[in-house]
Structure 1
């Protein structure tokens, strides 16, 4: 598996990651099926797994995905010492909805629970503030992460759903290794709002969430003719083409496609070997602009 460096940390990760959310929300698979998915990802060389405390059904189920990933890593027969798990905190799941909570006390508590969910014997590899809450300053919300990092509970810190100005504010409080914002053929805002350019310039890893457009648009990628044609020409899935398209946009991009089936993971890793030409990227860009 091709690797990439995480920010300026000097730590390498697989060029394609695994998003854990589909294994813990809505119609999630059985635990054994999910563990098989994670084990297969590790077999294929994936060493970056993305999760969050809110990847669960509701508040009574909080931290489900973190515990699932930890169990999968503990039961894997191979070496997991180079696996990086990035989690997030700052969203709540009342009645399966998504709401922000940047209350410093809440974030302090959820970091502790996340730390315990991963075994409590090593720092959280990357903890990301899930989404800025306008009721609290970014400094106030990130201070618990700073304190936890100083206490050895967190190794690296990242942010999610942040603008350039908000990223700058975050960096006044802590060092940032990653930015996780939405980016897909239907949502290309990182190209125009300055976030992707800023990440490139500052050496931050960009993690595009919902690369296939989410549950509503996941099955509509074949409607984009340029993507469908390239998939046919290269004898790969439309999902591989999207991941290759994202990777072509910047060397700082590390896609984290979600999966709840072994076949999905096996398909995603094929994207590493797909190199799109400038003209091929432009054809997709033109049709999705």
Structure 2
């Protein structure tokens, strides 16, 4: 495994991190807890020491699974990355969306990051994770109803109390990062980034490179689209959010497959999977510190972790980028 500093902080993370959204079950058609725990442990055995989760993933389920998976691992050997600012148990802030929990009960999720809410969320996360500190605490989505300064002041207090090590943001713009940094120093920004979703290269990547902030790329496989296993006409399981996800609608699957057909021979030549090729390309991109990759069982986790062994030459990377120029999702 490769390990990288999180911004200018004292936290070192694995370049491939375990993304624990899917193991929470919520929006992914449910979860199998034993397999989920096994997936995290299998990833750790191959050097994936960083795990990214959030309270809203299964309304606590993902954090509980993470806590169970790492309970026998020395705490200083893993990095827990979790989030705050999305409440399903409190109707304050801005309504993010209507959804259903893992039991099928309708719930409303709100973006809310006021001071007292953050303090409570942190305590709840620590209990579910069965730990006394969080390595990176990230606001999940911007909350327009709470001043950024108030949110960051609460996080500063948690740092002073030793409950979190470093502060990060997620889905923040450059301007929002600048405003947050008027109150405290940020280590990172977690954003959606993939071969077919590269908008951040225009402004966020240059800003983070210049200011030595890490970028944690989530959905580098575009929620499975770039893994090459989902073809036109695919039927998703009930409760799987991808049925309405942009990348899978309006003919986008058909637009991506000609590109995948061109790079599959490269993966075969290297005797690696398409997913592994995509993950390696992602962590090689300028400004990208970590690729967050999900897995729901040990086999998937092992395959993701082994992507670190893939090597791309400058010529191979240029070839991939050239083919990408023809891919435009709508």
TM-score (norm 1): 0.89
- CA positional deviation for 1:187: 0.8
8 A contact 2:215–2:287 mirrored in 1: no
The answer to whether 1:69 aligns with 2:70 is: no
Match of 1:199 in 2: 208
Runs of at least 5 residues in structure 2 that lack an aligned partner in the other structure: 89-97, 101-107, 231-252, 326-330
SS of 1:95's equivalent?
A: strand
Q: Which sits farther off after the overlay, 278-287 or 265-274?
A: 278-287
Q: Which has the larger share of helix?
A: 1
Measure, in 2, the Cα distance between the counterparts of 1:284 and 1:91.
Answer: 37
Classify the secondary structure of the residue corresponding to 1:249: coil
Query: Which structure 2 residues correspond to residues 200-219 of structure 1 after superposition, within 5 A?
Result: 200-214=209-223, 219=230
Counterpart in the other structure of 2:121: 110
Distance across 1 between alignment mates of 2:155 and 2:324: 37
Q: Confirm or deny: 8 A CA contact 1:5 1:11 kept in the other structure.
A: yes
Deviation at 1:100, TM superposition (A): 2.1
Give the Cα–Cα distance (whole angstroms) in 1 for the partners of residues 194 and 211 of structure 2: 22
User: Among 279, 292, 300, which residue is 1:243 paired with?
Assistant: 279
- Following superposition of structure 1 onto structure 2, how do residues 58-207 of structure 1 map, counting pairs within 5 Å? 62-74=59-71, 76=72, 78-93=73-88, 94-96=98-100, 99-120=110-131, 122-192=132-202, 194-207=203-216
Q: Which has the larger radius of gyration?
A: 2
Give how far 1:116 is off: 2.1
**1:8-55 CA distances to partner (integer Å, 9 max, x unpaired)?**
123322221110111012323321111111111111111111011111
The answer to whether the 8 Å contact 1:52/1:88 transfers is yes
1:36-55 correspondence runs (5 A) = 36-55=38-57
User: Larger % of strand: which?
Assistant: 2
Aligned twin of 2:36: 34
Q: Structure 2: how far apart are the matches of 1:212 and 1:98?
A: 25
**Equivalent-residue separation in structure 2 for 1:204 and 1:254 (angstroms):** 12
Cα separation, 2, equivalents of 1:166 and 1:155: 21
* Count of residues in Structure 1 that have an aligned counterpart in Structure 2: 280
Unaligned runs of 5+ in 1: 57-61
CA contact (8 A) 1:13 1:47 kept: yes
